Amino acid sequence: MPGIVPSSVGWVHPADTVSGVQLTVVDHPLARARLSRMRDERTDNAMFRAALRELTQMLVYEATRDLQVAEEPITTPVTATTGYRLAAPPLIVPVLRAGLGMADTAHGMLPESQMGFVGLARNEETFQPEAYMASLPESLVGRDVFVLDPMLATGGSLVHCCELLTARGTTSITVLCALAAPDGIRRLEESGLPLRVFTASIDEGLNDKAYIVPGLGDAGDRQFGAV
Ligand code: PRP
Ligand code: URA
């Protein structure tokens, strides 16, 4: 997509900063393999959930690379040395429903983190997000927030979620998604929100139902069944 020129080497493409959005494509053979399993229409709900959990590990691993650590003295069975812990574990916010499938894995890797929740359902005629719940700390001033949603399609849902978060005072939001469409990335850029986005793929575009192409279908239905 214009303005974003992913490199072809390494575990992570170099981050490109475009209009306040810092974009990283986590491109790795293991990520491609998990994503392919998720894309395949023959993959059942359980296998889809497993592949999403594994992909989430890779996204979290990369997205936490720059977190600050605090030193603390520890004693091994052999001697005293310096240990490390996260100085300020980020708040984890899965976007319901589909982000739920990433939540346990992210929390397992960030066990000291708190978790908030945002519930959004996209109206499939207008493609606008409809909010049905938010359970978040009153103030997010000075806090890093990691938002989990496997799909960035038009971007409406993530802009809505991130605006809820910035309204509570955070200036540091990291979005983790399995797949992103160029339209959604543009929408995030236009929002002016200060964001980092980690995704395993930037797909070709959207179809006339605003589904990502080639995509993987409805990420909520693929995990939990159609409701
Ligand atoms: C999906 C997905 C995102 C949203 C992306 O959720 O999990 O939240 O669509 O679309 P957008 O970028 O065009 O806003 P959906 O609304 O289908 O709800 P679900 O997770 O409950 O299935
Ligand atoms: N939401 C999904 O679950 N899939 C898409 O392709 C677009 C929005």
Give CA–CA dist 57/64, Å, rounded: 11
Q: Quick check: is 17 in a domain?
A: no
For residue 85, is it within any domain? Answer: yes
pLDDT tens by residue, 130-153: 999 999 999 999 999 999 999 999
Examine residue 137 and state whether it is found in any structural domain, yes or no: yes
Helices (H), the chain: 29-39, 45-63, 100-109, 156-167, 182-191, 219-224
Q: Is residue 121 part of a domain?
A: yes
Closest ligand 2 atom to 222 CA: 3
In a domain, 16, yes or no: no
CB-CB contact of 148 with 165 (8 Å): no
CB 212 near ligand 2, within 6 Å:
yes
| CATH assignment of the domain containing 192 | 3.40.50.2020
Cβ(156) – ligand 1 distance below 6 Å: yes
pLDDT of 16 reads 53
Which domain does 216 fall in, by range? Answer: 22-224
pLDDT of residue 227: 81
pLDDT tens digits, one per residue of 75-110: 999 999 999 999 999 999 999 999 999 999 999 999
Classify 208 as helix, strand or coil. Answer: coil
In a domain, residue 206? The reply is yes
Query: In angstroms, what is the span from residue 124 Cα to ligand 1's centroid?
Result: 9
**Is residue 1 domain-resident?**
no
Neighbours of 85 (CB within 10 A): 11
Binding residues for 5-phospho-alpha-D-ribose 1-diphosphate: 97, 122, 149-157, 218
pLDDT tens-digit profile of 15-34? 555 567 999 999 999 999 99
Q: Does residue 138 form part of some domain?
A: yes
Output the known binding site for uracil: 212, 217-219
Number of domains in the chain: 1
Q: Which atom belonging to ligand 1 lies closest to the Cα atom of 119?
A: 21
In the reported structure, the alpha carbon of residue 215 is separated from the centroid of ligand 1 by a whole-number distance in angstroms of 13
Give yes or no for residue 180 CB within 6 A of ligand 2: no
Task: Respond yes or no on whether ipTM tops 0.90.
Answer: yes
* Residue nearest (by alpha carbon) to ligand 1 atom 2: 151
